[in-house]
Structure 1
Amino acid sequence: MDTPIFINKAAASGIIALDLLKYKPTMEVVELDIKEHLFMEMIVKEKEFKESIASTDFSLYKGKAVAIICSTEAIIPPWAFMILMEKLQPYAAYTDINSFDTVLLDLWKQKLLSADLEQYHDQKVVVKAGPDIAPALYLLATSLLKPFVKSLMYGEIGLPKVIFKK
């Protein structure tokens, strides 16, 4: 009796996967809420602000990405951010005035932009789907890959959605 031979069509397709999770930053991202340094958590008073900043242990941010936020409706003058940055600079690896999610996304984009994508040249590429991946990363991946891949797809190798073919 002949044994049926099964062919793995996904493996035979020659499609290779790009997993955006591979480029997720490993650096810890933390939020620093500037409201903690404000008078009554609402007003920037220079003397009180400088004293509060001076009494803070910024070494806690060593090697981390710091997302500076203000969770109140306070108006923060630019010089206050400059004072804060002067104290963070010796410790923080990355600092921005943005939310945790935005800083994480920016770091992720930087990592993808600096990635060596040469292995995908003239290949059929599927960018793997993932629930934890922001649409902006798919946008960036498309922008980076389209100029030199044979075809670009989204999803999984076995059942991809074709984005474009040369």
Structure 2
Amino acid sequence: MDQKIFINKAEASGIIAFDLLRYKPSIEIVELDIKDHLFMGMIVKEKEFKESIAAVDFSVYNEKAVGIICSTDAVIPPWAYMMLMEKLSPYVVYADLNNAETILLELWKRRLIYADLKSYKNEKVVVRASADHDPSLYLLAAGLLKPLVKSLMYGEIGLPKVIFKA
């Protein structure tokens, strides 16, 4: 009896998948709204500001990334941010003047930039597609992988879109 042998063409292609999710940070990211520490939610008064942040238990930010935002249209002097950071620094892993979504993207990019990508050298690589990923991640991945890989593709191993071939 004849046996039919099925060949997995995707596996036989030698294409390696590069999954951006592998580099997504798992750290909890929270926002701290500076308006909660402003006089009438709008004005920075030094004495009131100092008293307000002195009353905060900043340990709730332990081992987290913090996005400092101001949900009102207030003018915040730079020293106010410095005072906040002085209180946050013993606890936080990362803090910036951005919302949580922007901080996630920034940390994700950092993980990509500092990733050891040597295993992709001279390989055929497909960067996995996901509509949920910010396009700037694909831009960065292409820039990091192009000098290393034999060919760079986008999509899935079974049906990739060729971006570059050496």
Q: What's 2:22 paired with?
A: 22
- Number of residue pairs the alignment of both structures matches: 166
Residue 28 of structure 2 aligns to which amino acid in structure 1? Answer: E
Q: Which amino acid is the alignment partner of residue 153 of structure 1?
A: M
Matches of 2:6 and 2:25 in 1, distance apart?
A: 39
Could you say which residue in structure 2 is the equivalent of 1:68?
68
Matched, 1:148 2:140: no
- Give a deviation string over 1:53-105, Cα, whole Å, max 9, x none: 00000000011000000011001010100100000000111000011111001
1:7-156 equivalences under 5 Å are 7-156=7-156
Q: What is the DSSP-based 3-state SS (H/G/I as helix, E as strand, rest coil) of the residue aligned with 2:159? A: coil
Q: Give how far 1:4 is off.
A: 2.2
For the aligned residues, what is the CA RMSD?
0.8
TM (norm. structure 1) is 0.98
- Which runs of no fewer than 5 residues in structure 2 stay unpaired? none
TM-score, length of structure 2 as denominator length = 0.98
**What is the CA distance between 1:134 and its match in structure 2?**
1.0
Q: CA deviation at 1:148?
A: 1.3
Which whole-Å deviations, capped at 9, do the CAs of 1:12-60 have from their partners, x for residues lacking one?
0000001000100011100000000001111111111110000000000
Following superposition, which runs of at least 4 residues in structure 1 exceed 4 angstroms of deviation?
Answer: none
Identity of aligned residues (%): 70
Deviations 1:125-160 (A, max 9, x none): 000011321111111100100001000001100001
- Report the Cα distance in structure 2 between the residues aligned to 1:121 and 1:25, rounded to whole angstroms: 24
For structure 1, the 5+ residue unaligned runs are none
